[in-house]
């Protein structure tokens, strides 16, 4: 596939807590399906994916402090990928 399914590993507080349960947060393409995400994670990171859950995150307005400007944050999709016990996705 020419389009990249997995954009990056998300490093957040919630993602760090999920890592202890063999779950990882990934930012993925907005039109990617769960089977496509699982296959891409297995190929890219060399792990066995047990489950994939997806969340569509709606972008919104963010106001710039000290100015009268508002910036629109982009809408994106993230996935919580559960991998086999003992395997890891390296967060670089």
Contact yes or no for 83/49 (Cβ under 8 A): yes
Domain range spanning residue 35? 6-83
DSSP 30: T
Can you give the pLDDT at residue 2? 40
Q: Provide the token pair at 64.
A: 């710039």
Cα 81 from Cα 91, distance rounded (Å): 13
Give the CATH number of the domain where residue 75 resides: 3.30.70.330
> Is residue 53 predicted with pLDDT exceeding 50?
yes
In a domain, 67, yes or no: yes
Lowest mean pLDDT among 10-14, 31-35, 64-68: 64-68
- Kindly report, residue by residue over 1-15, the tens digit of the pLDDT: 447 999 999 999 999
**Residues above pLDDT 90, as percent of the chain:** 83
pLDDT band (50, 70, 90) for residue 92:
low
């Amino acid at each position: 596939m020419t389009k990249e399914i997995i954009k990056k590993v998300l490093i957040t507080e919630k993602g760090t807590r999920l890592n202890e349960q063999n779950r990882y947060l990934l930012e993925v393409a907005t039109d990617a399906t769960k089977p496509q995400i699982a296959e891409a994670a297995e190929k890219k990171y060399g792990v066995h994916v047990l489950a994939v859950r997806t969340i569509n995150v709606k972008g919104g307005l963010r106001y710039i402090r000290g100015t009268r400007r508002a910036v629109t944050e982009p809408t994106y999709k993230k996935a919580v990928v559960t991998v086999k016990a003992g395997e890891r996705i390296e967060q670089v």
